[in-house]
A and B are shown apart, each in its own frame.
Chain A
């Protein structure tokens, strides 16, 4: 076992580093000529609009600020630092560093979204080229990169569906989804006013087609599903699903946030979808940024192009331009154009791989997944969701329920113990349909030895659970902090502290116990 210990700096919250008078960075002084001419710029303002008491920000010199944040970064396990296969569904793959060079290049980073198009032909070309590539990869006819995440892409799809039926004068207000698709497949359309009808899986873990037939009606506006789902199970009857919904008059939208096992193998088009989206920060390697910024690349078939958010990039005779003239556009889901750094990295990643490379990515991701599954299922106490169905694509949802029953150690306990070895492990979204869940998605980025290291550690901890459950239950020991054993502090309005100032007011800095 790796004798790991995460950096533990015991670094105070930044306000405690403040020393009156210290400066972190200085601002240019106003030129005398300007000062003379403008006089007191605050004189035109009513008194209450002028800030009298300066914000109580900390005063810290430059190197100390740098040190503080670098220390915090050492207390963080980015994908680059660990075998990040335990964050299932998040597709934590390698983000090639060469792409960071492009993103920080001033010709990418310091461009204003409204610059004259003649000065941004490079940017527009990259966007257009990625559009073409994703069209090919998905079989869709046009892409927008405006949504800043998968959830925002789903929201855009729901907006398009709504506009589509309004334009046809049809009153349809129901979206059908499945329980193992991402929760946003239900939540985002609900924001748009849709009623949500959820289908559960049959005993094989595949969405129940009879249930779908019972769900469709003249009120069905669309189907929004992932395939494979979070369990890793692929619905082989997906084409029938989309046919059923089309027959009922609805549209079909594909949540392909994670397409990592299917690149070059199967596409949205052939499965019968009218729309799809990819998370560039999952399958297409752009880094997750601790939670964004990111991009949910949204693709649609020809007849839906007119509803896309504006602008989209078009190629003219000699140059690229921005088209704001989509007749039935839903308007905007985000200001300006989306997250260009994500688009740039995704483009470069695809160029580094090509068609063969993309297929290799998918195939090795699936190979790695099956390899892991084979090993995990040999661990005492570990089980799999829907044991009858062994075929999984790029990830698997497992269950510790047997281990929990026999030892009292839960999935959440094991997650904390994994931190002691430098790993993440993730359960699932709520609600936990599969009891004591854990989801592993290896992607194509880790070597066999690394995969072995991960599973061996899991095995080791499972054995600890049988031998000495208390050890696992009270983990972690080698992480940045020890067990958070007062979780109710985060739920109690009298105790919760979302800012340091609130914390000082409510708890006082030196509180030891519950006060």
Chain B
């Protein structure tokens, strides 16, 4: 008997239908309701659940009361167990409480229905400890943990639960600055990673290959290409992301995927990890005395929007970026990452418009071993 966790965020997506950008916050939610917005995520939940009715008899759904999952699971005749209660108006803490309970119950798969906000809440609690999958229902869905449609999410869950496809991969969960977002300014930050079932074309922003090995193989190839071109005596600041950290992995170093590390290739050819998960000051201390031209920054676009430098990169300050300069920036990205970025255009938002301008222009992106793509990086202003 497999256990599925189901958390439905009933208010996700309500803002979008009436022209509001998201429903985080009670004020916005009230406005949405006043404008006549009705919950859309319960129906999306049902659409996803319908895809797994064929294994109904061998799964049990653990869920939250009322519209947070109980109603939808009952509608689709699943055997269910309500493990947490919520009030009339659901909030982010309800999501987190439910997620905690499901983590403790050790569910085989946690399905949530919502948007980036819901993803963030869940990630905060479960991290990479259990397999999670998002059913797309929000307005803001820049994270890559969602199926492309509710049906696709259902299909993916079916494959995973019936044992057909047990591979998982890490999906970015992005934190979007709400206030800025409502002003029409998109500012994303990589928040954390969720472990999702691998499903290639069924998963949002993963259009290239259906095998997890393909993604991994591409990252390894990129890492090999980078390692081959490291120069003796130079320093390499390595930004967050699974593609950049693959380089460190290949050299034998395990670091925090969200942090910033520094590699140094000594004159004798040996490559060292100088520091990991560094803050701005530590980075500055390492590179300050070096010649410009001997310091590089390796970054990869994060999230679905193509930011190689975003407001979230507190560690990569203007002074560090100025030191590295445009010529010092090495961008790495898998082909599927590039195809998922709108207009294949990279974005820079260092926090300083002047710096952004200096770093704008065309870059030679490493996409594999001996494989490159030319893309333009623009200041997001």
A-contacting 9-mer, from B72-80, B143-151, B246-254 = B143-151
List, in ascending order, chain A residues with CB within 8 A of B207's CB: 431-433, 435
Asked if A126 lies at the interface with its beta carbon under 8 angstroms from chain B, I say no
Asked if A214 lies at the interface with its beta carbon under 8 angstroms from chain B, I say yes
Interface residues of B in 320-375 (CB under 8 A from A): 335-336, 338-339, 343-344, 361-364, 367, 370-375
Given contacts A197-B364, A214-B364, A488-B159, contact A208 B372 (CB under 8 A): no
List, in ascending order, chain B residues with CB within 8 A of A488's CB: 159, 164-165
Using an 8 Å CB-CB cutoff, how does the interface string of B20-53 with A read, 1 for contact, 0 for none? 0000000000000000000000000001000000
Contact A431 B336 (CB under 8 A): yes
Asked if B122 lies at the interface with its beta carbon under 8 angstroms from chain A, I say no
Contact B150 A408 (CB under 8 A): yes
B-contacting 9-mer, from A198-206, A230-238, A333-341, A365-373 = A198-206
Q: Is the interface of B mostly helix, strand, loop or mixed?
A: mixed
Compute how far the CA of A186 lies from the CA of B338 in the bound complex, rounded to whole angstroms.
Answer: 17
Using an 8 Å CB-CB cutoff, how does the interface string of A318-336 with B read, 1 for contact, 0 for none? 0000000000000000000
Contact B152 A408 (CB under 8 A): yes
Using an 8 Å CB-CB cutoff, how does the interface string of A233-269 with B read, 1 for contact, 0 for none? 0000000000000000000000000000000000000
Given contacts A215-B364, A488-B159, contact A431 B374 (CB under 8 A): no
Asked if A491 lies at the interface with its beta carbon under 8 angstroms from chain B, I say yes
Compute how far the CA of A203 lies from the CA of B361 in the bound complex, rounded to whole angstroms.
Answer: 16
List, in ascending order, chain B residues with CB within 8 A of A212's CB: 374
Contact A214 B150 (CB under 8 A): no
Asked if A473 lies at the interface with its beta carbon under 8 angstroms from chain B, I say yes
Contact A199 B211 (CB under 8 A): no
Compute how far the CA of A194 lies from the CA of B371 in the bound complex, rounded to whole angstroms.
Answer: 9
CB distance from A184 to the nearest CB of B (A): 14
List, in ascending order, chain B residues with CB within 8 A of A214's CB: 361-364, 374
List, in ascending order, chain B residues with CB within 8 A of A196's CB: 370-372
Interface residues of A in 361-384 (CB under 8 A from B): none
Kindly report which residue of chain B lies nearest to residue A405, judged by CB atoms.
B149
List, in ascending order, chain B residues with CB within 8 A of A203's CB: 343
Contact A491 B374 (CB under 8 A): no
Interface residues of A in 428-480 (CB under 8 A from B): 430-433, 435, 469, 473
Kindly report which residue of chain B lies nearest to residue A411, judged by CB atoms.
B201
Asked if B279 lies at the interface with its beta carbon under 8 angstroms from chain A, I say no
Contact A197 B372 (CB under 8 A): yes
Using an 8 Å CB-CB cutoff, how does the interface string of B255-290 with A read, 1 for contact, 0 for none? 000000000000000000000000000000000000
* 7 A/B residue pairs, CB under 8 Å, sorted by A: A179-B373, A197-B374, A211-B376, A214-B374, A408-B151, A435-B207, A514-B164
Asked if B209 lies at the interface with its beta carbon under 8 angstroms from chain A, I say yes
CB distance from B194 to the nearest CB of A (A): 22
Asked if B208 lies at the interface with its beta carbon under 8 angstroms from chain A, I say yes
CB distance from B227 to the nearest CB of A (A): 16
Asked if A135 lies at the interface with its beta carbon under 8 angstroms from chain B, I say no
Kindly report which residue of chain A lies nearest to residue B214, judged by CB atoms.
A430
List, in ascending order, chain A residues with CB within 8 A of B208's CB: 430-432
CB distance from B17 to the nearest CB of A (A): 14
Contact A198 B209 (CB under 8 A): no
CB distance from A472 to the nearest CB of B (A): 11
| Size range of the chain A interface in the assembly | 20 to 34
Q: What 9 pairs across the A-B complex have the smallest Cβ distances? A: A214-B362, A408-B151, A431-B208, A211-B374, A195-B370, A200-B344, A408-B149, A198-B373, A432-B207
Asked if A190 lies at the interface with its beta carbon under 8 angstroms from chain B, I say yes
Contact B376 A210 (CB under 8 A): yes
Contact B362 A431 (CB under 8 A): no
Asked if A95 lies at the interface with its beta carbon under 8 angstroms from chain B, I say no
List, in ascending order, chain A residues with CB within 8 A of B211's CB: 491
Using an 8 Å CB-CB cutoff, how does the interface string of B203-223 with A read, 1 for contact, 0 for none? 000011101000000000000
Contact B339 A210 (CB under 8 A): no
Contact B374 A430 (CB under 8 A): no
14 new A-B contacts, CB < 8 A, other than A179-B373, A200-B375, A214-B364, are A196-B370, A198-B371, A198-B373, A200-B338, A200-B344, A201-B344, A211-B362, A211-B374, A214-B361, A214-B363, A215-B374, A432-B201, A432-B208, A433-B207
CB distance from A385 to the nearest CB of B (A): 12
Kindly report which residue of chain B lies nearest to residue A404, judged by CB atoms.
B149
- Name, among B150, B209, B344, the residue most crowded by chain A CB atoms within 10 Å (CB to CB): B344
Using an 8 Å CB-CB cutoff, how does the interface string of B177-219 with A read, 1 for contact, 0 for none? 0000000000000000000000001000001110100000000
List, in ascending order, chain B residues with CB within 8 A of A197's CB: 364, 372-374
Compute how far the CA of A186 lies from the CA of B370 in the bound complex, rounded to whole angstroms.
Answer: 11
List, in ascending order, chain B residues with CB within 8 A of A194's CB: 370
CB distance from A428 to the nearest CB of B (A): 11
List, in ascending order, chain B residues with CB within 8 A of A405's CB: 149
CB distance from A200 to the nearest CB of B (A): 4
Compute how far the CA of A278 lies from the CA of B367 in the bound complex, rounded to whole angstroms.
Answer: 30
Contact B149 A199 (CB under 8 A): no
Kindly report which residue of chain B lies nearest to residue A200, judged by CB atoms.
B344
List, in ascending order, chain B residues with CB within 8 A of A186's CB: 371
Kindly report which residue of chain B lies nearest to residue A212, judged by CB atoms.
B374
List, in ascending order, chain B residues with CB within 8 A of A473's CB: 151
Compute how far the CA of A469 lies from the CA of B164 in the bound complex, rounded to whole angstroms.
Answer: 24
